[in-house]
Chain A
Amino acid sequence: MRIVIAEDLVLLREGMVRLLTETGHDVVAAVGTAAALLDAVDEHRPDLSVIDVRLPPGFRDEGLRAALRIRAADPDAKVLIVSQYVERAYAADLLADGRGGVGYLLKDRVTALDDFLDAVDRVAAGGTAMDPEVVRQLFARSRDHGLDALTAREREVLGLMAQGLSNSAICAALVLAPVSVEKHITNIFAKLDLPPAADAHRRVRAVLTYLNAA
């Protein structure tokens, strides 16, 4: 997979390049600023961009803004945001268009290599990858979002779904039969009023429902 990395700290940039290269990916560009990122994406058209939220010159949320610009310019572009802290507002910005191909992970998760690579694959394939911490924040105030209607098991499933896991991954994680996972998910969609006809990204929409309810 061809990847562009945007990270201003050399130590981390080199670390990520090494990590992705050694796991068989092709890092076509590793840059340190948002402007360079936009140029690199324009030039290389990567399968995925891994972007730090904070980038020079302002060290605010330049990376996130650049990611949104990339997505606006090319709806098929896939971006994975990595940050040292999670803000639900950022996750909401990323998911706002209701399409997949986005991810938001704490940098800590990079060190859980398999999870990270899994997230990279998922986002590149058009899915989502939300950090468990983001999901935890969502569920921290679940009382008032109609989540009461969900059973404990359904919540568990929704939590994993919100992180971006596929049905089979959820089966594995919860040691459930595929049929029962599907049943749970159908129930969740029904309780959250997400009709089956909507589109392929009902899973994203389910997460979005909570993000926007805040």
Chain B
Amino acid sequence: MIKRTARALAYLVTGPVAGLAGFLWSVVAGVLVTVLAVTQLGGPVFLGAAWVTRRLAAVERRRAGWVLGAPIASPYVPVGGSPRERVGAVAGQPATWRDLAWLFVLLPVGVVTGVAGLVIAVVDLASIAAPAWAWAVPNPNAPFPMKQLLTTVPGRFGLTVAGLALLPVAAWLLRTIAAGPARLAAALLGPGEHRRLVERAARLAETRRRVVDAQAAELRRIERDLHDGAQARIVAAGMTLALASRKLRAAASSAAASSASAGSALASVGAGPAEINISDFPEIARQASADLHDSAATSARTARPGVGGGQLGARAGVGGGQLGARAGVGGGQSGARAGVGGGQSGARAGVGGGQLGARAGVGDGQSGARPGVAGSQLDARADVELARRQLDEALAELRRLVRGIHPPILTDRGLHAALAALAGDSPFPVGLHGDPDARYPAAVESAAYFVVAEGLTNAAKHAGATRGTITLDRVADLVRVTVTDDGRGGADPDGAGLLGLRRRVEALDGTLTVSSPPGGPTVLRAELPCTS
């Protein structure tokens, strides 16, 4: 309590001095900056004056914080760039002008509160010390209470008692008076609404950047998962089918040879396919037994005994494969993750179908229906081929899907190479200008890629362009990609494609501008901020 009162007193007493210094400085600085504003020195002098003002404000902040018992945070927003930009940024900050306002206000406020504080402190201390000095000022003409108090010994000690009694009141008054300018200082010199908004915006920008980065990483992960998971499994299944098909063919030719010769033809035919069934389809058999609980399985099982049944089984199995492949593709389109699962189960179902077909055919051979052996093997072979082609289609579909999510070449070689590929794929000649080695954040590259892809597609599809240009450059923290074509123009900026692009670009805090007057040319430009 004593400490805080002492601080308040010290604050009040030094107030007029600080006020005078602040006032003088603001006048000098104001004149200097105003006079030199017309010369080359204007900028540097302004920055220097602002620097000094900020130091003074910092002292004031510390003084006021001392009284308030809590430090006052600094309100300044960091600035950078060229001197000219810094002058603008400093002048644009409300904190700069609030500092100046405080330096002006400090003089009257400091003088008034300083005098008031001083008077209170002096009067109370003097009254406590009355026995020590009152005898020196005998005043017989003083009015009633003062005469008794000042001229008699009991009166002087009475003053001391009264002074002591009023000491807490005086201390409270001092603290209260000091709190006034200190609060004003906190309000003027502390972080204002501007600073809070700037901080909030910075926080929001940061969280958005993280979200965007996470999304870009997620897309790449999905692409990788499709590549290493679904696609690889389908290819692997295709390889197994290829081997199966090859062996079926070999078996068929050996069956033909053995049926032509007499003797133990039946046994050899029986043994051949049986071997295929067990040793050549280990993966297939495993997958099929695990996955195929559907009608294809049932029909194949029931159809097993007869020759016709074998063919039926083969068809049912392949039908399952077709269904599976389609399910995989459909799932892929409706959602990337669904696509992975769908693709995989599609591949498995397809393989299972092939296997059932093959096994059904083999079953005929074993049942001893010799004339049916070659026929149903041929049939199974055709079905294996069909399943293989269906897997190929599923792969092609998956590839298209991956390209739509995140083109692999973007990961492999960066934006410039990916744009070169787009330019190359375009049905009309497209020039590409830009730095081939520059790499940008993944989200920026992917957004720029899709802007160009959409631009070129539109130019080819709707504008009838015969020539185009892609320009990729970087201006300070901005990556700018421009697609120009000489088509007939008239693109609708609110069309579905461009609207989707705009959302994508705006999610990165970028802008997309479309200029497409009727008759052309169309200029599609995306500007994407890119800090790093």
B235 and A141 contact, CB distance less than 8 A: no
Q: Mark B207-237, 1 if CB is under 8 A from A, else 0.
A: 0000000000000000010011001110110
Please, which residues of chain A bring their CB within 8 A of the CB of B395?
Answer: 84, 107-108
Please, which residues of chain B bring their CB within 8 A of the CB of A140?
Answer: 425, 427
Chain A residues 86-145 with CB under 8 Å of chain B are 87-89, 107-108, 110-113, 116, 137, 140-141, 143-144
Please, which residues of chain B bring their CB within 8 A of the CB of A116?
Answer: 242
**Which single residue of chain B is at the shortest CB-CB distance from A64?**
B412
Interface presence of B59 (CB below 8 A):
no
B243 and A18 contact, CB distance less than 8 A: yes
Tell me, rounded to whole Å, the shortest Cβ–Cβ distance linking A60 to chain B: 4
Q: Which of B65-73, B80-88, B401-409 lines the interface with chain A?
A: B401-409
What's the count of A-B pairs with C-beta under 8 Å?
100
Please, which residues of chain A bring their CB within 8 A of the CB of B388?
Answer: 111-112
B411 and A111 contact, CB distance less than 8 A: no
Interface presence of A193 (CB below 8 A):
no
Chain B residues 385-443 with CB under 8 Å of chain A are 388, 391-392, 395-396, 399, 402-403, 408-409, 411-413, 417, 420-421, 423-429
Tell me, rounded to whole Å, the shortest Cβ–Cβ distance linking B306 to chain A: 31
- SS of A interface (majority): helix
Interface presence of A173 (CB below 8 A):
no
Interface presence of A12 (CB below 8 A):
yes
Tell me, rounded to whole Å, the shortest Cβ–Cβ distance linking B226 to chain A: 9
B228 and A9 contact, CB distance less than 8 A: yes
Please, which residues of chain A bring their CB within 8 A of the CB of B259?
Answer: none
Interface presence of B182 (CB below 8 A):
no
A113 and B224 contact, CB distance less than 8 A: no
Interface centre among A53, A87, A111, A113 (most CB of B within 10 A): A111
Please measure, in the bound complex, the distance between the C-alpha atom of A61 and the C-alpha atom of B418, giving whole angstroms.
13
B242 and A19 contact, CB distance less than 8 A: yes
**Which single residue of chain B is at the shortest CB-CB distance from A141?**
B427
Q: Mark B281-324, 1 if CB is under 8 A from A, else 0.
A: 00000000000000000000000000000000000000000000
A108 and B235 contact, CB distance less than 8 A: yes
Asked, given contacts A85-B403, A89-B413, A141-B427, whether A19 binds B421 with beta carbons under 8 Å apart, the answer is no
Count the B residues whose beta carbon is within 8 Å of the partner chain — how many?
Answer: 39
B232 and A9 contact, CB distance less than 8 A: yes
Interface presence of A149 (CB below 8 A):
no
A22 and B235 contact, CB distance less than 8 A: no
A84 and B235 contact, CB distance less than 8 A: yes
Interface presence of B96 (CB below 8 A):
no
Please measure, in the bound complex, the distance between the C-alpha atom of A108 and the C-alpha atom of B397, giving whole angstroms.
12
Asked, given contacts A85-B403, A85-B408, A88-B421, whether A108 binds B238 with beta carbons under 8 Å apart, the answer is yes
B243 and A113 contact, CB distance less than 8 A: yes
Tell me, rounded to whole Å, the shortest Cβ–Cβ distance linking A145 to chain B: 9
B235 and A12 contact, CB distance less than 8 A: yes
Asked, given contacts A9-B228, A84-B227, A111-B392, whether A214 binds B428 with beta carbons under 8 Å apart, the answer is no
A16 and B238 contact, CB distance less than 8 A: no
Chain A residues 1-42 with CB under 8 Å of chain B are 9, 11-12, 15-16, 18-19, 22-23
Interface presence of B149 (CB below 8 A):
no
Tell me, rounded to whole Å, the shortest Cβ–Cβ distance linking B383 to chain A: 15
Tell me, rounded to whole Å, the shortest Cβ–Cβ distance linking B179 to chain A: 64
Please, which residues of chain A bring their CB within 8 A of the CB of B428?
Answer: 141, 143-144
Asked, given contacts A60-B413, A141-B428, whether A111 binds B242 with beta carbons under 8 Å apart, the answer is yes
A11 and B232 contact, CB distance less than 8 A: yes
B427 and A89 contact, CB distance less than 8 A: no
A61 and B392 contact, CB distance less than 8 A: no
A19 and B239 contact, CB distance less than 8 A: yes
B391 and A61 contact, CB distance less than 8 A: no
Please measure, in the bound complex, the distance between the C-alpha atom of A184 and the C-alpha atom of B424, giving whole angstroms.
27
A141 and B231 contact, CB distance less than 8 A: no
Q: A12's contact among B236, B246, B402, by CB below 8 Å, is which?
A: B236
7 contacts between A and B (CB under 8 A): A12-B236, A16-B239, A53-B412, A54-B412, A111-B391, A111-B392, A113-B243
- Report B's interface with A, CB cutoff 8 A: 224, 227-228, 231-233, 235-236, 238-243, 245-246, 388, 391-392, 395-396, 399, 402-403, 408-409, 411-413, 417, 420-421, 423-429
Q: Which 10 pairs of residues, A with B, have the shortest CB-CB distance?
A: A111-B238, A214-B424, A113-B242, A15-B239, A60-B412, A61-B412, A11-B236, A111-B242, A107-B235, A9-B232
